[in-house]
Amino acid sequence: MRDLLVTWRGDIDHAWVDYNCHLNDAYYMVIFSYASDGLMAMVGQDAAGRAAMGHTMYTLEIHLNYVQEVHEGVAVEVRTQILGVDAKRVHLFHTLHRQDDGTLLATNEQILANIDMSNTATGPKTAPFFPTVAALLMPLAQSHANLPRPANAGRVIALPAARK
């Protein structure tokens, strides 16, 4: 979808491929974590921003769905949709795609919390987004508000009920 943010691009590294000759499940999360870092950089929470404001984001929850196998050397990109934002949290939906034809490979839903790291006496604590971050994040969320909600968003993991 053209309005989504491209938050990470790269090739599937040989070290990320498992004994089944496709991307190991752990490396899907590495890629999606890099994409969350990409979003953080877009809203001013790159390394310099985190150091200057003493804030970062922690991941609170993750849901990962595999759609198609991904093989070594494939060029991929992550597209990110912001599903919601409040004063302290952002709800993201990442989709992993082949760069050459846009094929959907996996989806990842996350909730991140803003964390104030600056108080060494009390330690990390949730806090409202720094004003400069909120000023960049809120318009992105508003621009995504009218996009269709992804099919896998909000899924619950469970086995189907047994038939009697």
Evaluate whether residue 84 is within a structural domain: yes
- The pLDDT, as a whole number, for residue 161 is 84
Q: What amino acid is encoded at 7 in this protein?
A: T
- The pLDDT, as a whole number, for residue 83 is 97
Number of domains in the chain: 1
Q: The domain that contains 33 carries what CATH number?
A: 3.10.129.10
Evaluate whether residue 160 is within a structural domain: no
Quick one: three-class SS letters along the chain? CCCCEEEEEEECCHHHECCCCCECHHHHHHHHHHHHHHHHHHCCCCHHHHHHHCEEEEEEEEEEEECCCCCCCCEEEEEEEEEEECCCEEEEEEEEEECCCCCEEEEEEEEEEEEECCCCCCCCEECCCCHHHHHHHHHHHHHHCCCCCCCCCCCCCCCCCCCC
Evaluate whether residue 133 is within a structural domain: yes
What is the per-residue pLDDT across 52-102, written as a single tens digit (0 to 9) for each? 999 999 999 999 999 999 999 999 999 999 999 999 999 999 999 999 999
Evaluate whether residue 134 is within a structural domain: yes
Exposure string for 86-115, b = 16+ CB within 10 A, e = fewer: eeeebbbbbbbbeeeeeeebbbbbbbbbbb
Evaluate whether residue 55 is within a structural domain: yes
What is the per-residue pLDDT across 12-56, written as a single tens digit (0 to 9) for each? 999 999 999 999 999 999 999 999 999 999 999 999 999 999 999
Evaluate whether residue 157 is within a structural domain: no
**Could you give the count of Cα atoms lying within 13 Å of 19 in the half-sphere of its Cβ?**
0
Evaluate whether residue 156 is within a structural domain: no
For 19, phi and psi rounded to 5 degrees? -65, -15
- The pLDDT, as a whole number, for residue 7 is 98
- The pLDDT, as a whole number, for residue 1 is 46
Evaluate whether residue 111 is within a structural domain: yes
Domain encompassing residue 120: 5-144
- The pLDDT, as a whole number, for residue 158 is 86
What is the per-residue pLDDT across 119-158, written as a single tens digit (0 to 9) for each? 888 899 999 999 999 999 999 999 999 999 999 999 888 8
Flag whether pLDDT at 2 surpasses 70. no
